[in-house]
Every structure is written in C-alpha cells, then in structure tokens.
Structure 1
C-alpha cells in the first residue's frame, strides 16, 4: 500500500483560509517528499529527502530547519517509487502523453525526476496578511521567474479531475535547482537527461484542521471553484 497524505485543501485557500494549521514536524511524520505552501502563502514549499525548502517571492530559497513552522496546505508521501519514467526528455506540454500507458486519469500519482532543464518558468506567491484575500486574487499579481540551462529536481503530483477542490486536478509540480538558489511552483519547463520515477497511490489521506476556528467557520462559494483553481494554478498541462 502506498499513501499520499494531504493536510488542508486548495478550496480553503480559495476561501481565504491561509493560516498555518500543521507544523513541519507533523508533516514529516507522514512523508519525506512533497510540496506545499507556508502560513499566509509565504512562498512555495519543496520537500526532498526529508528536507524542507522555501522559495520566497524575492527569488531567494532557504532551507526550513525550524520544525515548528506552520503550513496551511501541503501534500507529502514517503518516496517508494513504483515505476521508472519511460522517457529521457519531456516538457510540461508532453508530460501527460508520455505517461499515458500508466492510465493516471482516475488515480493519484507522484512524479520526481532530476534533469537538465533548458528552461523553467516558475511563480512564487508573496506572503499575505490578515484579512487574507482569496487565492485567485493573489494569483493575479504574483512574482514570476525564469531560468535557462539549470540542473535540478521536479517533484509533484497528479490528481483526478473529481478531486479538484480538495486539491488541484491534473499536475501540480514544484522545482528546486541543484544549487538550491532557484525554486518555485512550475508554470512551464523543458528538460533533458531525465532520470526519475513515478509513484502510484492506492490511498489518499485527507487531513483537515478541525481544531482551527477560522476553518470551521469558513463559508465557501462553490460557484466557479473549479475554474478559479485552474486559473490560480496557471498550469500548462
């Protein structure tokens, strides 16, 4: 059995709930690999080999060593790959078609690969303050970054369309360069010399912050939720 653990929901962020509700220590108990964001949407999180990195909206990347740092939304798993990636080069537009034989439409999966990237286009959300805006409003004005000829690791998840709301349907991936100086939520990429794996999950664990009063009191407008999430994610695939 292979499990994907997710704390919080993407719908919460759309509903202006960006307060941190789980600590780094709590999340690392459920996985050594993953992606997420920090309290107040303070940047993009990348978890590799049990280490947590934070891409900041000023373009810097820091390693998070404080186990008490809080996150509102994060997905993690223990890296136990089930498949070797069947390609040596890929871009965001061809990622799904190159994995078509694995029939991902109705399952959760994690991808993790190292490669040489001719181009990576990322965004990093800036920290928000109370009263929090919606994720869609934040996404309309967010720093974007480009890097050419960079070696690094891409990690993230595929989720079925039916789970759009709890998470982002389709691909949601982050990038971290080998020199730990460039990272973020991936909007587009092109990679060669790809070496990595795919992990298929038969168990999706959704954890909710039921002790958080703001979450319990949230009123979510479901109209346009799916289109809003897609717009805020800015996916190319």
Structure 2
C-alpha cells in the first residue's frame, strides 16, 4: 500500500486562500519526497531524500532546516518505487506518451527522474501578502528561469482528470539541480537520457485545514475552475 498525501487544495489557492496551515514538520511525517509552496505562495518547494529545498522568485534556492514554517498546499509520499525507468529522449510534451504502457490515466502516480537536461524552463511564484490575489493573478507575475546542460532531478505527480480542483489534472512537476542552486516548477524540459522511478499510489489522502477559520468561511468559486488551474499551472501535457 503506497499513499499520496496532499495538504490543502489547489482550488483554495485559486481563490486566494494562501495562509500556511500545516508546518513542514507535520507534513514530513507523511513523506520524504514531494512538492509544494509556502505561505503566500512564496516560491516552490521540492522535497527530496527527506530534505526541503525552497526556490525563491529572485532565483535563490534555500535548504530549509526550520520546519516550523507552514505550507498552504503540498503533496508528499514516501519514496518506494513501483517500477524503475530509463528514457533515451524525453521532454515535457512526450512524458505521458513515454509512460503510456503503465496506464496512468485513472490513477495517482509519482515520478522521480534524474539526468542531465539539455534545456529546462521553470517558474517560481512570487510571495504574496494579504489580501491575497487569486493564483491566476500570481501566475501572470511569476518569475521564470531557464538553464542548459544542467544535471538534476524531476519530482512530481500525475493526477486523473476527475481530480482537477483538489490538484492539477495531469502532471505537476518540480525540478532541482544536483548542486541545489537551481529549482522551480517545471514549464518545459528536454533531456537525452533520464533514469529513475515511477510510483503508483493505492491511496490519495486529501487533508483539509479544518481548524482555519478563513478556510471554513471561504466561498469557493467553481466557475471555470478547471480551466483557470490549467492556465495558472501551465506547461503540462
């Protein structure tokens, strides 16, 4: 039995509910690998081998050791690969096709792929302050970075179409370089050779911040939610 644990929902961020509602310390009791963000959508988190790395919108990447900081939205799991993978040529557009033999359309799965990327394009959300805007507005002002011939790891998840709202339908992937100096939410990539693993999850655990009064009182706007999430996340096929 393998479990994907998600705190908060992407739909909450769409409506500006960006207060951190779970400490990283609590989050890490549910996994040693994952992705997320901090209060105010402050940057992009990549969790690898039980360590948390924070990509900031100025391009800096920080190793977070103070796990009392909080996240509004993160997904984690314990790295227990279902199958090992090796690809000769793969990019953001062909990832799903490369994994077609594994019949992922209706299941939650996770990838952890390592190699040298001839090109990678990432975004990093800028920190917002109250009153928080919608995630769509944040995406329009995001910082973007590109790198060539960089070695690192992709960490991310695939979610079935019916789960658009709680999370991103399709792929949601972060990248971190081996030297931990370059990281972010992946918009595009190209690599001539990648090796790693695929993990299929039996369980998807959705944890909600029920003790947070702003969350309890928020009115979720469902109009165009799926389309707006796709716009705000970008780059996944």
Taking structure 2 as the reference length, the TM-score comes to: 0.99
Partner residue, 1:23: 23
Whole-angstrom distance in 1 between the partners of 2:82 and 2:141: 38
Query: Do the aligned residues in 1 keep the contact of 2:124 with 2:142 (CA within 8 Å)?
Result: yes
SS in 1 for 2:138: helix
Partner residue, 2:157: 157
Structure 1: 5+ residue stretches without partners: none
Structure 1, residues 99-155: CA drift from partner, whole Å, max 9, x if none? 001000000000001111000000000000000000011111111100001000000
Partner residue, 1:187: 187
Partner residue, 1:14: 14
Query: Do the aligned residues in 2 keep the contact of 1:16 with 1:134 (CA within 8 Å)?
Result: yes
SS in 1 for 2:196: strand
Partner residue, 2:56: 56
Off by >6 Å, runs of 4+ in structure 1: none
Query: Do the aligned residues in 2 keep the contact of 1:187 with 1:235 (CA within 8 Å)?
Result: yes
SS in 2 for 1:58: coil
Query: Do the aligned residues in 2 keep the contact of 1:158 with 1:172 (CA within 8 Å)?
Result: yes
Query: Do the aligned residues in 1 keep the contact of 2:172 with 2:236 (CA within 8 Å)?
Result: no
Whole-angstrom distance in 2 between the partners of 1:34 and 1:18: 19
Partner residue, 1:80: 80
Whole-angstrom distance in 1 between the partners of 2:236 and 2:26: 32
Aligned length: 237
Partner residue, 1:218: 218
Query: Do the aligned residues in 1 keep the contact of 2:39 with 2:72 (CA within 8 Å)?
Result: yes
Query: Do the aligned residues in 2 keep the contact of 1:86 with 1:98 (CA within 8 Å)?
Result: no
Query: Do the aligned residues in 2 keep the contact of 1:177 with 1:183 (CA within 8 Å)?
Result: yes
Partner residue, 2:144: 144
Query: What does 1:100-179 correspond to in 2, within 5 Å?
Result: 100-179=100-179
Whole-angstrom distance in 2 between the partners of 1:236 and 1:22: 27
Taking structure 1 as the reference length, the TM-score comes to: 0.99
Whole-angstrom distance in 2 between the partners of 1:190 and 1:134: 31
Compute the displacement of 1:86 (Å). Answer: 4.5
Whole-angstrom distance in 1 between the partners of 2:34 and 2:231: 22
SS in 1 for 2:87: coil
Structure 2: 5+ residue stretches without partners: none
Partner residue, 1:89: 89
Query: Do the aligned residues in 2 keep the contact of 1:88 with 1:192 (CA within 8 Å)?
Result: yes
Whole-angstrom distance in 2 between the partners of 1:94 and 1:73: 27
Whole-angstrom distance in 1 between the partners of 2:209 and 2:87: 39
Structure 1, residues 145-199: CA drift from partner, whole Å, max 9, x if none? 0000100000000000000000000000000001111000000001123110000
